[in-house]
A and B are shown apart, each in its own frame.
Chain A
């Protein structure tokens, strides 16, 4: 075993350990902020795996999309609605937890069975390595053109939706009256008309 193989093996072990431990932390930790940060760790170690598989472009894309965009968005959402709340203990919680564990274990068995029974056709071709970017581009514009274009249409729809939401020009005037309605409102100050018009900026605190 030469140097490159040794490094590869050790890095694979470290990355796999990080991915598994961080993924467990995402699910098991009580603090949602920790879960969100650990999710970033999972994504980053997946990027490392792609790097080990000679997919440097995919690794960078994984980093930029999942860590740089998706995870930051999740964190941003959590921190904008930064509400510290102690949940009251629910009676019979163990039933829910037991059911969750059962479903989770069932899924694990199912997926593991699939992995074991599938005859994996491992390609013997030499990895493209540095040329992978070109290969991906060629695929995008030939046999994967439809999914590629569909994804862009999906993004366009999301963008139009975001702009419509952001350009909301009136403030809904109905004030919550009942206790139940209040519970569904996010704790934020009423929007000021001047701020919406783009005139003055309200002070941060």
Chain B
């Protein structure tokens, strides 16, 4: 494991150099990466909303947002500002406490999951030993918020939407978790850093994509279902349910749902790129390039360069996946609720169990290729 850039220790060293006691220096450092991550997550949402508008427009042979900023890139900001200044309506017979708490419970776990996203060897908030499991555990909290807002709205469309959302996310969490378990089994670790490290040896050929082709597809289907996007946007099927659990929401509370769904989309794409597409790794191992150029990995500017390349690689992979989901939205029709549950329970779950068994067998048979 190379030393790489360790921003935390250098920042704390610098602060203690100014005469700040070490404990206080650490306390001063800690909020910085957290707020940075919040900003990055929110910015990621702005970008994906813009992409959604532009790509949707292109798919329908329209132009899309054009006047707000260059190429309409400020349109999502305008959307957000509009939502902030709208009146915060609570329906007459609704339950005001649960109505307010619902969107908050939906949004918090999604943002917390960013804790374990690595953008590089040391560019992660916390390298928790249970990284992948942490994400799955947190994402299982979201349904409670959805049920809460669906129930509190005092609207039958909202209640049905909330129940559908929960049924959907419970059914697709199982195949999702099982396909993650297969990856974890190959990496011998739940930590996101170790999962990426394990894929880093042979460039693009070492990515889990080739060793887990079935898990790769299952994860993708389940992640699209978990983020409630077409073809699985049953909870807010507008022809049947107006807008599902969001029907009665306006202003900032609606904005929280909107934000949460896009953050969740980007988050799923990030995890997908970490589990299957080698995270921050370039198509060829960066060590080979450095060896070819006779450069040492310890030079400062080389380190900055490789870290930047890592961040760019993660973002490129992530937004490629976001692009694919947006295209999926305009190419596939919505499935019915019984088809959705059939697909989850009768097809994806058995297939992911078989995939897990197969991975375990292959790991015993070929320990060199499947992480013995």
A residues with CB within 8 A of B: 2-3, 33-34, 37, 40, 44, 56-57, 60-61, 63-64, 67-69, 71-72, 75-76, 79-80, 82, 129-133, 198, 201, 203-205
Contact = CB atoms under 8 A, between A and B. Distances in A.
Choose among B23, B141, B150, B337 the residue with the greatest number of A CB atoms under 10 Å from its CB: B141
Contact of B147 (A60, A63, A79, A204): A79
A75 B173 CA distance: 18
Contact of A79 (B23, B26, B159, B190): B159
B20 to A, nearest CB: 13
Choose among B23, B140, B159, B166 the residue with the greatest number of A CB atoms under 10 Å from its CB: B140
Nearest to A60: B137
A131 B129 contact: yes
A61 B140 CA distance: 11
21 contacts: A57-B130, A60-B137, A63-B137, A63-B140, A63-B141, A68-B137, A68-B140, A68-B141, A68-B143, A68-B173, A69-B170, A72-B140, A75-B147, A79-B151, A79-B163, A80-B163, A82-B159, A129-B129, A133-B130, A133-B190, A205-B156
B163 A72 contact: no
B138 interface: yes
Interface residues of B, number: 35
| A contact face: mostly helix, strand, loop, or mixed | helix
Contacts of B143: 68, 72
Nearest to B129: A130
A76 B130 CA distance: 29
Contact of A76 (B26, B133, B147, B338): B147
B1 interface: no
Contacts of A130: 129
Given A2-B23, A60-B134, A133-B190, A201 B140 contact: no
B160 A64 contact: no
Interface string B210-227: 000000000000000000
A130 B129 CA distance: 5
Task: Give 6 closest A-B pairs by Cβ, nearest first.
Answer: A68-B140, A130-B129, A60-B137, A64-B137, A63-B137, A3-B23
B166 A76 contact: yes
B287 to A, nearest CB: 27
Interface in B137-165: 137-138, 140-141, 143-144, 147-148, 150-151, 156, 159-160, 162-163
